[in-house]
Structure 1
Amino acid sequence: MSDTDILTQNTIPHTMRAIVLEKPNDQINLADIELPVPECSDNELLIKVEYVGLNPVDGHFAKSGFCQWQYPHILGLDAVGVVVKASKGIFPNVGERVMWHANVGGQGVLSEYTKVPNFAVSIVPQELNPAVAAVLPCAGMAALISLDKISITEGQTVFIEGGAGAVGQFAIQYAKQRGADVFATASKKNHKLVKQLGADVVFDYNDKKLCEKIRRELGPQGFDAVIDTVGGESTARNIELMRFCGKIACLNPLPCFEQDLMYRRAPNISVVSLGGAWLANSLCAQQRLSFMGNLLLEGATNGDIKAPTLTPVEFNANAVSNALNTQLAGGFTGKHVVKIGC
């Protein structure tokens, strides 16, 4: 093994525990199985996984499946772990703790070991809790991409639909850092949280007079930009609330728009696709995931960014299934994090 650095010849087993989806199903029934430890190519790192952050997208794909998956499929996209094997000259080095957002088209990270290209990871600072780092990638990166899409600047108004969700929580904080006036929706029980994160005005998304109250608060000009984490009918409503030629970043599939709305608002519509970095096979986009990871880790470490509240989940199929179903049922605030191994 002269071309490879490893911790110890005998520390890496041949098999590992993993949580898999044997086939898509509405109940999100998962299974605990043993699989071979992955084999890595030259630029890939073998990681001993420590923590996995669960996201609603994991649950959605568990129900519907994904066109590029082979089954049984290991679920999970966000993880933190320690590099245990890497080819000589490949950075990061063996022993480094790293964070990353995995390739949605490949096997996931709910396993004791996994592999990832070295250019897509970010090194976790020693002073940051690795469980916190594990919940940053998907939501935090989606928020950063959304803000870049809408090009929000100081003094502009941004409306964040779903302010208490993980993406919304990050988006509020980063929008305030950029000097924006932030408006958001949330359930009444989460208004205090959303305001503590920096939102200037919070509306109850269940309010039947929501649009009327927004216009009363904002005035006739409309929002400069919108981050729409919800999708569906709310997307058209949010475009109606924007100024002419305003910008909207959409994190869910677009509805069918009435042509009259498009003419009256002439919106600049952007689609946020974090997984697209992998699906488009764009090395530049994959490296950007690492850059965004560095930014998120820096913010969480120095206290500029507050991560959502963590809820621990055991590393077994039933516990992960229950957590994903809880997320999709709505009303859950925070992030589920799975501790892998001891």
Structure 2
Amino acid sequence: MNSSNETLQLCDLPETMKAIVLESPSETFALQEVELPLPQCDDNEILVKVEFVGLNPLDAQFAKTGFCKWQYPHILGLDAVGTVVQANKGQFPSVGDRIMWHSSLAEQGVLSEYAKVPNFAVALIPENLPSETVAAVPCSGLSALIAVEKIQINEGDTVFIDAGAGAVGQFAIQLAKQRGADVFTMASKHNHKLVKKLGADAVFDYKDKKLCEKITTALGPQGFDAVIDTIGGDSTLRNIELMRFCGRIACLKSLPILTPELMFRKAPNISIVSLGGAWLANSLCAQQRMSFMNNQLLESIDNGDITVPKIAHVSFNAEAITQALHHQLDGGFTGKQIVEII
């Protein structure tokens, strides 16, 4: 650790670590297992023994396309849970603390035995919460919470949530219901029971050819007050059509081409949700805000106010993680894939 301050260590540390890396992006990517030197921390960074990593659709997408800030081989993974093993004396969190975080998209990821992270960007895990449960939270939970706050859901609002059975959708349904909204969503028929249990008031089959007609019949002609758009593309255009005039929409994907006629007719208030932007914009305030929101989510889960998606375990080896990410790209995946780092 590059610091003039005294550093504390939980235990003797190895010189190298096992990591799962992407040698180069492609449609048929296959990850590799390598040995790398332990990360060297700056003054405001802590070293963490990674215990669980949550896999996200974003990990799979960038394994295909790569990212402009990456150098290869690149360690994948954005969501991690682990124990602080090295920190400056007096630094918070301290050695031995169990933490969760969503890491920088521009830096090396967390699918490794050890990782470094700025101390102000992490959330302290409540004692009673299992680490594997917590690993399912950061990307999907934060995205849902930021979306709900950006579209300013109030009691009595009608809210449409795309892909209700997805991880973001499951968190978003619960958060919207906590704020008193009437929640409409869509999912595969076999997931209707799940999303209703989470609080959805009306559920539609996303494969239904008369989807828009049935939503309009159930909702009435006024349109939704707000939408959480998780899919993007043509779904964004459909969702804006389903909104009332000057409705609010939070988009988690890039915007499609929006015609002037649609913009003038609907005048939507569009918000973009970008967790990676907090790092790419080098916004210390936004990074600290994510830490605060992660603590907020953990408190709600610890209190039993929010449940996390069902967890599917993935082994910490290149072949298993490669298969898991391709499975996400195939679509129709419900729940969260969690890698235990052992």
TM-score (norm 2): 0.98
| 1:75 equivalent in structure 2 | 76
1:1-342 pair list within 5 angstroms: 3-8=6-11, 11-341=12-342
Say which is worse superposed, 258-267 or 71-80, in terms of deviation.
258-267
Structure 2 CA distance, aligned partners of 1:320 and 1:192? 29
Given that 2:247 and 2:267 are in contact with CA atoms closer than 8 Å, whether structure 1 keeps it comes out as: yes
Render the CA deviation track for 1:73-123: whole Å, top value 9, x for unaligned. Answer: 000000000000001121001000000000000000000000000000001
Render the CA deviation track for 1:43-90: whole Å, top value 9, x for unaligned. Answer: 100000000000000000010000000000000000000000001121
Given that 2:5 and 2:88 are in contact with CA atoms closer than 8 Å, whether structure 1 keeps it comes out as: no
Structure 1 CA distance, aligned partners of 2:301 and 2:319? 30
CA RMSD of aligned residues (A): 0.9
Quick one: which amino acid aligns to residue 74 of structure 1? I
Structure 2 CA distance, aligned partners of 1:45 and 1:99? 12
Quick one: which amino acid aligns to residue 271 of structure 2? S
The alpha carbon displacement at 1:7 in A equals 1.5
Q: Which 5+ residue runs of structure 1 have no aligned equivalent?
A: none
Structure 1 CA distance, aligned partners of 2:314 and 2:28? 18
Render the CA deviation track for 1:260-283: whole Å, top value 9, x for unaligned. Answer: 111110001111101100000000
Quick one: which amino acid aligns to residue 323 of structure 2? N
Structure 2 CA distance, aligned partners of 1:305 and 1:256? 36
The alpha carbon displacement at 1:295 in A equals 1.0
Given that 2:171 and 2:306 are in contact with CA atoms closer than 8 Å, whether structure 1 keeps it comes out as: yes
Say which is worse superposed, 43-52 or 290-299, in terms of deviation.
290-299
Given that 1:157 and 1:181 are in contact with CA atoms closer than 8 Å, whether structure 2 keeps it comes out as: yes
Structure 2 CA distance, aligned partners of 1:52 and 1:117? 17
| Ranges of 4+ aligned residues in structure 1 off by more than 3 Å | none
Quick one: which amino acid aligns to residue 72 of structure 2? Y
Given that 2:74 and 2:108 are in contact with CA atoms closer than 8 Å, whether structure 1 keeps it comes out as: yes
Structure 2 CA distance, aligned partners of 1:200 and 1:274? 28
Quick one: which amino acid aligns to residue 220 of structure 1? P
Secondary structure class of the residue paired with 1:275: helix
The alpha carbon displacement at 1:28 in A equals 2.4
Quick one: which amino acid aligns to residue 21 of structure 1? L
Structure 1 CA distance, aligned partners of 2:154 and 2:22? 43
Structure 2 CA distance, aligned partners of 1:27 and 1:309? 27
Secondary structure class of the residue paired with 2:275: coil
Structure 2 CA distance, aligned partners of 1:252 and 1:323? 22
The alpha carbon displacement at 1:148 in A equals 1.1
Structure 2 CA distance, aligned partners of 1:215 and 1:2? 63
Given that 1:227 and 1:250 are in contact with CA atoms closer than 8 Å, whether structure 2 keeps it comes out as: yes
Render the CA deviation track for 1:184-227: whole Å, top value 9, x for unaligned. Answer: 01111110000000000001111110111011000010000000
Quick one: which amino acid aligns to residue 329 of structure 2? L
The alpha carbon displacement at 1:140 in A equals 0.2
Given that 1:48 and 1:82 are in contact with CA atoms closer than 8 Å, whether structure 2 keeps it comes out as: yes
Render the CA deviation track for 1:270-307: whole Å, top value 9, x for unaligned. Answer: 11101100000000000011111101111111111110
Given that 1:28 and 1:59 are in contact with CA atoms closer than 8 Å, whether structure 2 keeps it comes out as: no
Quick one: which amino acid aligns to residue 187 of structure 2? A
Secondary structure class of the residue paired with 1:27: coil
The alpha carbon displacement at 1:328 in A equals 1.1
